[in-house]
Amino acid sequence: MNINERSLTTMSTLNAQGSRGTSNQSDEQTEPSTTLSIFALDYKKHEDLKQMLDSNKDNLKLEAMRRIIGMIAKGKDAADLFPAVVKNVVSKNMEIKKLVYVYLMRYAEEQQDLALLSIATFQRALKDPNQLIRASALRVLSSIRVPTIVTIMMLAIRDAVSDMSPYVRKTAANAIAKLYALDPELKDELVLIIAKLLADKTILVNGSAVQAFEHVCPERIDLIHQNYRRLCNLLVDIDEWGQVTILNMLTRYARSQFVDPNKIFEDEKKSFYEDETEQNINEDEDSLDKRTYVMDSDHRLLLRCTKPLLQSRNSAVVMAVAQLYYYVAPQSEIQIVAKSLLRLLRHHREIQTIILKSIVFIADKHKQIFEPYLKSFYVHSNDSSLVKRYKLEILTTLANASNISTILREFQTYVLSSDKDFAAHTIHAIGRCASTISDVTEACLNGLVALMSKKDETIVAESVVVIKKLLQINPSQYNEIIKHIVRMVDKVTVPIARASILWLIGEYSDRISKLAPDVLRKMAKSFIDEETIVKHQILNLAAKLYVVNAKQTHLLVQYVFNLAKYDTNYDTRDKARLLRALLIQTDKCPTLSKHAKKILLASKPAPILESIIRDHDQYTLGTLSFVIGQKAVGYKDLPDFPLEPPDPSVRNVEIVTPLPSQNVSSRKSSTTTRITSREKKKSVNDENFYSDEEEEEEEEEEEETSTEGPDTDNEEEEDEEDEKEKTTQNDNDTNEYEQLDAQSTNNIEPEEEEKDESSGSSEEEESEQEEEEDDDEESESDESADDEKLTPNQSSIVAKPSSTLTVSDYTIPATEKSLLEMDLEAFLGAPSTSTNVQVAPVKNNIFDDLHGLESLTSTSSNLVYTKQYDCLNRITGQGLQIQYRFPRTPFQQSPNMIHVELIFTNTTTNKDIHSIKFYKSKSNINIQGFNQIDLLPSGVSIVTSIGIDFNDKTQPASFDILYDDNLIPTSLTILCHVGELIEQKFLNDQQFNQNLGK
Amino acid sequence: MIHSLFIINEAGDAFMEKHWKTVVSKSICDYFYEAQKKCVNPEDIPPVIATPHHYLINIYRNNLYFVAVLTNEIAPLFVIEFLHRIMDLFENYFGECTEKSVKDNYVIVYELLDEILDSGLPLITETNILKELIKPPNLLRKVAHFVTGDSTNTTLPSKQLSNIPWRPFDVSYRNNEAFFDIVEEIDAIIDQNGTIVMSEIQGYIDCCIKLSGMPDLTLNFVNPRLLDDISFHPCVRLRKWESEHVLSFIPPDGNFRLISYHIATQNTICMPIYVKHHIQYREGSSGRFELTVGPKQTMGKSLENVIIECTMPKSVLNCTLTPSQGKSTFDPIKKILIWNIGTIETKTQNSAHLPTIRGNIILVTGQPIPESNPILNISFQINQLAISGIRVQRVDMNGEIYKPYKGVKYITTVKKGRFQIRT
């Protein structure tokens, strides 16, 4: 831009600024003035805009467009400007272009012919080098809803799906739904595109792809199989809105692909399912698990991957997870959603309302999960009316014998609330509590009777109605109350309450035989002024009294019937005619009249006090239909669980995708300072490994007896890898590279120990830092670049304690790396199926064994158990005594666990103890259980090993064991003795001196 | 998905509408007005309204109604959350989201609405990305227009989608600062006798991070186990939290909420304030009203902005009250008594100096005496104290070389109407 031009534009901006100021004013002024001379002004205004649009100055055009957008925003019609606006679609100025796009999306549908003029521009923009321009062109093109351009849209989408930029691909995914809405016949073609998008590797695209899937072909569940595991693993990293869509889809998927976890199967066929019930604790206990239901590993994967989403800041995500757990999880696991739902109660009022409604629904089936949080549902006086009602409903649902007294005390204050509707609802709630919990029926009734003496009409009326219902449940006990109520008939004026009282008198007239005729007399007097509902009850009362006490009342009854005969309401007239025929004109229908007493005074079933709002349980939790209580357009029920699980192998992904490179890169970042030759060797091993892995997988599929889910598989392999690395430390003679490595590891070990002793858990911290990094790389491969940048920085921190360590430092993370995967696997779900696969040549099994041997020999010769601790007293254990000790040797199955030996001793003299087995870990601590001990004869001790991951904390680990077919598990606690967390290392003289020299 | 959006002011004027699909006539709002008419309080309007062909989901905030029109089944929370997100976004752009700010910036509003939803499906909702696409209005930009004459930002960010969606690439500040506000809100109901019926703490860590480049922050707590149930900003590394109880994150630029947590105290918390009350109605159109407020267990910090609000029963005609400190007003139409006390120092422990309010209540003659005493709503603020006792141990930064200024602030406060004393 040269100086002249610039000065020119400056001028025009000034003009534009000025004109904008005035135009805004005039805009506001036009509103009142339009009413005066609509046509003239409108015409003039648009003319002026047209001129601005036709000018060749961008600023004027922009100004005009801004004003037009203003008109659209206000809902005013700007359609006649279409020709003038559409010309500007070719404008080079992005700002103008954007606004023209906005205009086009609004009006293209109405002016299709003219809109076609703009298509060429979009097609050009679709090839623009800037991804944003490509994306926005596609977006507008697909949004203008002109049926004639369907083919162009199709082509554009097809191109965009294979675009380099994930943003463009995301836009393409969105466009699919729009195109489908425009022309449903294209479905088959679109499905192919969706299949392609579903397999997309970028998290940005996944959400939109699933969205398109849900729009176009939700029934094509087969498209999901291959992507299922990846979607589960990536879920945490996808954007919030995508998460909601995917969660909903996965819920549906799980309902159609897995069996009901709450049903117990005795079926032998299930045995090929791997036990994942307790997160890989009971790996060796197939025998135990056969008896109970075993969850499909993919089912478990879903539950595990969705759990962290409960901590999302987005309420829709949390709700979607809650929904998933409600419909898919085993009952014992649903409770984790409670806390998160409660957290949402602090959000905006609207969110609160819907969450509470959902809690009402969930609490109905799973009371226990909300019981600890009862107080969170106490009503604040400024809650909105809906919130109050839902809270009341929840409190009522949660009421049980133990908490009813607190709830009732709380209800007492609500009854006094100045919000009378709410007070009335509370009374109803009290009634419900009274009817369900028999302990408090009496107290509630008394309370309600007291309420009847209040001055407020609505409260009195509601109490009477509720009392009436309660009395019906057990009338014999409450003669006094009945009498009390009867005396109130004069005071109560609310029709429904009067009707209730009259019904009571009629029903229980035998107990108040003296009062009843008198009441009828009064009622006969006021009959004509009563509401219809009351009149009906007067008729009922009259009829019932006539049956029991005709002598005293027959004249009154006649009189009432006559009054009713000429009533304006035909229901009343009909009722009177019916009763008259039944009672007085007995000749007309003798058979019925004979049984008049039986008919009228038949014992009526007590009413069930129903919830006021529980009326739409039939819809899926959390959906729109659920909230409005009617079927919304496009609502579909969740499918029921299949009885026989569909083939789970469809989800196996055959080819493990391009991992070697990723692996190397992740390693690179953790060992940035030096890429050892070992690294290279590893990547060679990678290839080895993958072929092995595939073979293994295939084998498993063929046999269909795979006792390992994919996860446990990996864990094992990781273990192997781990072992391998340890082996390399000990086997100094494999080759040169190893030698180098071994040396460095040897160097580090003593240092490591020293450090441990001196500074507690610093090692763990470091390694975890590393872990975290790896972690990030795997999950968010996008971020790896940044993390790489960070690594050197951290490494310098790591190296600080002793500068000599710098070189060898990274061997620790290398060994520790697999720990991380374990943890991840166990707790969070691995970031993606592909990255799970670790470098672990199968041949290492041999090394593994060797190493095992070695460690055995080395330790056994040196074993000095310092101390044994009691964890089950022989008295409490009914003869079974359990002690534990820390052998200070590495735990074979998992390197991040501490090896603990349990000594089971049968101290009884004549009784054998059978089947001692590990049941489950109680705290969140990961425990590797022991093999079941089938028989422990009296006087014999057996030593078994367990592994405990104390997770760098000194919290005691507690777990349950079962023995002797006791159904109640016995819980054991193993304290974490600080000194025992250290691993013993042995050095020969040479190594020691070597280290000393450094 | 979201079909259309109407923004309606308190007067019931739909002053802005946006349609992502075929235009829906404004008359659809009539269903909303109908529901609105039925409710005395705008808070009572049901969030979801079903009409014969459409479903309306509305939110009410800042005296504005956002009404979304839907045609299909969709999770209602999805829409509600989204509408709130739109409001947050407007607040972020214009400083506040009011009728005026929306009207003044209608072009930006329209562009934003266009960008965040693609035919009703969420597209970009991260403020940082949006701010690169659509510049927020600010003085600097206006001046720049004026000087350069370039009223248009022709340059689009070439690679707008950074690896970290919540943080732009090219952040740079002269002064690098990171501020953490730990705000805790007390929810409590206290009964007549002063016993705590329920109490909960809701906490937030709101950050204002102005750091150049790509800093990687780590925040350590002294006592992380206090935090019971947390929701995180997407930037927080969940795994790190689970394994070490450390908040590790690459922060978004500017203001954001890092975490919010909830402490449902089974064992009740120490209330920092107490109120002695004596409210009595006497037969014959009058009554006594007396309140005394005092600090309690505030760790030596003073209570600030103490306000007591009390909605009197309908039969109260007027109140003549004299406070010993602060100002009191009574609105005879809404029957709301507001006593603005101001600051209560902890030093004035002497009960004679505690703020009191005393006086008479005049009841409408002929009306029955109210059956229940009013509920007191109290709000206050304590600076430099987090009532749960949570403390930040340290904040570390990796990834950049400069030394930032780091500040942590603790505030205990009460969300309006969530601290109630029953009398």
Cβ contact A123:A132 at 8 Å: no
CATH number (domain holding residue B89): 3.30.450.60
CA torsion sign for A172, A177, A181, A184 is positive
Question: What is the spatial distance between Cα A102 and Cα B113, in angstroms, rounded to a whole number?
Answer: 10
Residue B304 covered by a domain: yes
Q: Which pLDDT score is estimated for A751? A: 42
Residue type, A246: I
What is the rounded radius of gyration, in angstroms, for the C-alpha atoms of chain B?
25
Does the CB of A172 have a partner CB in chain B at under 8 Å? no
Question: What is the spatial distance between Cα A361 and Cα A359, in angstroms, rounded to a whole number?
Answer: 5
CA torsion sign for A951, A957, A960, A964 is positive
Are residues B260 and B278 both part of a single domain?
Answer: no
Q: Which of helix, strand or coil describes residue A474?
A: coil
| Closest C-alpha to A193, from A168, A178, A176, A170 | A176
List, as ranges, residues 344-403 from A with C-beta within 8 Å of B.
346, 348-351, 353-355, 372-373, 375-376, 378, 380-382, 384-386
Q: In the structure, what pLDDT confidence band is assigned to residue A771 with cuts at 50, 70 and 90?
A: very low
Task: For Cα atoms B126, B130, B135, give the angle at the middle one, nearest 5 degrees.
Answer: 145
Cβ contact A601:A548 at 8 Å: yes
Contacts of A624 in chain B (CB under 8 A): 48, 55, 70, 73-76
B401 min Cα distance to partner chain A (Å)? 9
Does the CB of A613 have a partner CB in chain B at under 8 Å? no
Whether the predicted pLDDT of B101 surpasses 70:
yes
pLDDT, mean over chain B: 84
Residue from B145, B151, B207 whose CB has the most chain A CBs within 10 Å, to mutate: B151
CATH fold of A868-989: Immunoglobulin-like (2.60.40)
For residues B369-383, average pLDDT:
85
A762-779 helix and A659-670 helix, angle to the nearest 10 degrees: 150
- Tell me if B41 and A385 make a contact (CB, 8 A cut-off): yes
- Tell me if B214 and A143 make a contact (CB, 8 A cut-off): no
B174 min Cα distance to partner chain A (Å)? 22
Does the CB of A869 have a partner CB in chain B at under 8 Å? no
Residue B54 DSSP class: -
Q: Which of A68-82, A766-780, B152-166, B262-276 has the lowest mean pLDDT?
A: A766-780
Whether the predicted pLDDT of A379 surpasses 80:
yes
Q: Which pLDDT score is estimated for A418? A: 79
Contacts of B82 in chain A (CB under 8 A): 241, 316
Contacts of A762 in chain B (CB under 8 A): none
Q: Which pLDDT score is estimated for B77? A: 92
Residue A269 DSSP class: G
**What digits encode the pLDDT tens for the residues A815-843?**
343 443 444 344 443 343 333 334 444 44
Which secondary-structure segment (H or E) carries A496?
helix A495-507
List, as ranges, residues 213-242 from A with C-beta within 8 Å of B.
236, 239-241
Q: Which pLDDT score is estimated for A827? A: 41
Residue B249 covered by a domain: yes
Q: Which of helix, strand or coil describes residue B69?
A: strand
Are residues B120 and B104 both part of a single domain?
Answer: yes
**What digits encode the pLDDT tens for the residues B260-286?**
888 876 666 778 888 888 888 877 777
Are residues B98 and B51 both part of a single domain?
Answer: yes
Contacts of A628 in chain B (CB under 8 A): 48-50, 55
Are residues B288 and B241 both part of a single domain?
Answer: no
For residues A444-453, average pLDDT:
82
Are residues B18 and B98 both part of a single domain?
Answer: yes
Does the CB of B18 have a partner CB in chain A at under 8 Å? yes
Are residues B256 and B286 both part of a single domain?
Answer: no
Please report the beta strands in A796-886, taking only residues with DSSP state E, as ranges in sequence order: 869-872, 880-885
List, as ranges, residues 86-125 from A with C-beta within 8 Å of B.
92-96, 98-99, 101-102, 105-106, 109
Residue from A313, A408, A415 whose CB has the most chain B CBs within 10 Å, to mutate: A313
For residues B389-416, average pLDDT:
87
CA torsion, ordered B378, B379, B380, B386, to nearest 10 deg: 100
Q: Which of A274-288, A806-820, B408-422 has the lowest mean pLDDT?
A: A806-820
CA torsion, ordered B54, B59, B62, B63, to nearest 10 deg: 50
Whether the predicted pLDDT of A623 surpasses 60:
yes
**What digits encode the pLDDT tens for the residues A284-309?**
444 444 445 677 888 889 998 898 88
Domain containing residue B219: 177-265+396-413
Count of C-beta atoms within a 10 Å radius of residue A573? 14
Q: Which pLDDT score is estimated for B218? A: 92
Are residues B331 and B372 both part of a single domain?
Answer: yes
A781 min Cα distance to partner chain B (Å)? 9
Contacts of A348 in chain B (CB under 8 A): 59, 61, 80, 84
Residue type, A834: S
Q: Which of helix, strand or coil describes residue A589?
A: coil
**Taking CA atoms, what residue in B is nearest to A2?**
B148
Does the CB of A953 have a partner CB in chain B at under 8 Å? no
CB-based contacts of B217, cutoff 8 Å, min separation 6: B178, B209, B247, B248, B249, B250, B251, B395, B396, B397, B398
Contacts of B22 in chain A (CB under 8 A): 109, 145
Q: In the structure, what pLDDT confidence band is assigned to residue A363 with cuts at 50, 70 and 90?
A: confident
Q: Which of A206-215, A627-636, B67-76 has the lowest mean pLDDT?
A: A627-636
Strands B405-413 and B177-190, by their bridges, are: parallel
| Closest C-alpha to B57, from B1, B107, B121 | B1
Are residues B252 and B338 both part of a single domain?
Answer: no
Q: Where is mean pLDDT largest: A866-880, B123-137, B232-246?
A: B232-246
CB-based contacts of B372, cutoff 8 Å, min separation 6: A416, A417, A418, B313
Inter-chain Cβ pairs, chain A and chain B, closer than 8 A: 307
CATH fold of A47-261: Leucine-rich Repeat Variant (1.25.10)
Q: Which of helix, strand or coil describes residue B200?
A: strand
Question: What is the spatial distance between Cα A335 and Cα A346, in angstroms, rounded to a whole number?
Answer: 19
Contacts of A211 in chain B (CB under 8 A): 121
pTM over 0.95: no
Higher pLDDT, A549 or A544: A544
Question: What is the spatial distance between Cα B274 and Cα B265, in angstroms, rounded to a whole number?
Answer: 19
B365 min Cα distance to partner chain A (Å)? 16
Question: What is the spatial distance between Cα A55 and Cα A905, in angstroms, rounded to a whole number?
Answer: 98
Q: Which pLDDT score is estimated for A290? A: 44
Whether the predicted pLDDT of A46 surpasses 80:
no
Q: In the structure, what pLDDT confidence band is assigned to residue A44 with cuts at 50, 70 and 90?
A: low
Instruction: Give the nearest partner residue to B237 out of A142, A772, A951, using CB atoms.
Output: A772
For residues A721-727, average pLDDT:
44
Q: Which of helix, strand or coil describes residue B4?
A: strand
Are residues B122 and B261 both part of a single domain?
Answer: no
Question: What is the spatial distance between Cα B220 and Cα B256, in angstroms, rounded to a whole number?
Answer: 18
**What digits encode the pLDDT tens for the residues A894-930?**
777 777 788 888 877 777 777 777 777 766 677 777 7
For residues A571-588, average pLDDT:
84
Q: Where is mean pLDDT largest: A237-246, B226-235, B283-292?
A: A237-246
Contacts of B372 in chain A (CB under 8 A): 416-418
- Tell me if A378 and B198 make a contact (CB, 8 A cut-off): yes
Q: Which pLDDT score is estimated for A862? A: 43
Contacts of A203 in chain B (CB under 8 A): none
Q: Token pair for residue B163?
A: 């690896």
What's the total number of domains in chain B?
A: 3
Q: Which pLDDT score is estimated for A321? A: 93
Strands B375-383 and B117-118, by their bridges, are: unpaired
Q: Which pLDDT score is estimated for A355? A: 92
B58 min Cα distance to partner chain A (Å)? 8
Q: Which pLDDT score is estimated for A351? A: 92
Q: In the structure, what pLDDT confidence band is assigned to residue B140 with cuts at 50, 70 and 90?
A: low
Contacts of A17 in chain B (CB under 8 A): 145-146
B347 min Cα distance to partner chain A (Å)? 32
Supply the ipTM of this predicted assembly: 0.91
* Helices within A381-452 (DSSP H only): 385-398, 404-415, 420-436, 441-451
For residues A405-417, average pLDDT:
87
Instruction: Give the nearest partner residue to A73 out of B16, B242, B374, using CB atoms.
Output: B16
What are the distances in angstroms from CA A810 to CA A30, A264, A600, A774?
74, 49, 91, 13
Whether the predicted pLDDT of A318 surpasses 90:
yes
Whether the predicted pLDDT of A722 surpasses 60:
no
CB-based contacts of A44, cutoff 8 Å, min separation 6: none
Are residues B261 and B284 both part of a single domain?
Answer: no
**Residue B28, φ and ψ in degrees, nearest 5:** -60, -25
Q: Which pLDDT score is estimated for A343? A: 86
**Taking CA atoms, what residue in B is nearest to A356?**
B77
Place of tokens 């979009």: A122
A550-565 helix and A570-583 helix, angle to the nearest 10 degrees: 150
**Taking CA atoms, what residue in B is nearest to A9?**
B149
Are residues B400 and B357 both part of a single domain?
Answer: no
Residue B347 covered by a domain: yes
Contacts of B152 in chain A (CB under 8 A): 58, 62, 93-96
Whether the predicted pLDDT of A15 surpasses 60:
no
| Closest C-alpha to A367, from A395, A402, A390, A342 | A395
pLDDT, mean over chain A: 71
List, as one string, the DSSP characters of A220-231: -THHHHHHHHHH
Whether the predicted pLDDT of A338 surpasses 50:
yes
Q: What are the residue ranges spanned by the domains of chain A? A: 47-261, 868-989
Question: What is the spatial distance between Cα A396 and Cα A401, in angstroms, rounded to a whole number?
Answer: 12
For residues A26-47, average pLDDT:
48
**Taking CA atoms, what residue in B is nearest to A179?**
B119
Contacts of A167 in chain B (CB under 8 A): 160-161
Residue type, A69: I
Does the CB of B195 have a partner CB in chain A at under 8 Å? no
Whether the predicted pLDDT of A317 surpasses 90:
yes
Q: Which pLDDT score is estimated for A320? A: 93
Q: Which of helix, strand or coil describes residue A615?
A: coil
Whether the predicted pLDDT of B66 surpasses 90:
yes
Q: Token pair for residue A311?
A: 């901590």
Q: Token pair for residue A333?
A: 């696991």
Are residues B246 and B278 both part of a single domain?
Answer: no
Q: Where is mean pLDDT largest: A285-294, A329-338, A608-617, A781-790?
A: A329-338
CATH number (domain holding residue B184): 2.60.40.1170
Whether the predicted pLDDT of A556 surpasses 80:
yes
Which secondary-structure segment (H or E) carries A240?
helix A240-257
Q: Which pLDDT score is estimated for A790? A: 40
- Tell me if A413 and B422 make a contact (CB, 8 A cut-off): yes
What are the distances in angstroms from CA A821 to CA A421, A773, A983?
57, 12, 21
For residues A202-212, average pLDDT:
87
Q: In the structure, what pLDDT confidence band is assigned to residue A21 with cuts at 50, 70 and 90?
A: very low
**What digits encode the pLDDT tens for the residues A772-804?**
444 444 444 444 444 444 444 443 333 333 333
Q: Which of A868-872, B66-70, B145-149, B408-412 has the lowest mean pLDDT?
A: B145-149
Contacts of B168 in chain A (CB under 8 A): none
**Taking CA atoms, what residue in B is nearest to A355?**
B77
- Tell me if A772 and B133 make a contact (CB, 8 A cut-off): no
Higher pLDDT, A579 or B347: A579
Whether the predicted pLDDT of A756 surpasses 60:
no
Question: What is the spatial distance between Cα A980 and Cα A900, in angstroms, rounded to a whole number?
Answer: 10
Contacts of B419 in chain A (CB under 8 A): none
- A930-944 burial code (b ≥16 CB/10 A, e <16): bebbeebeeeeeeeb
For residues A847-857, average pLDDT:
44
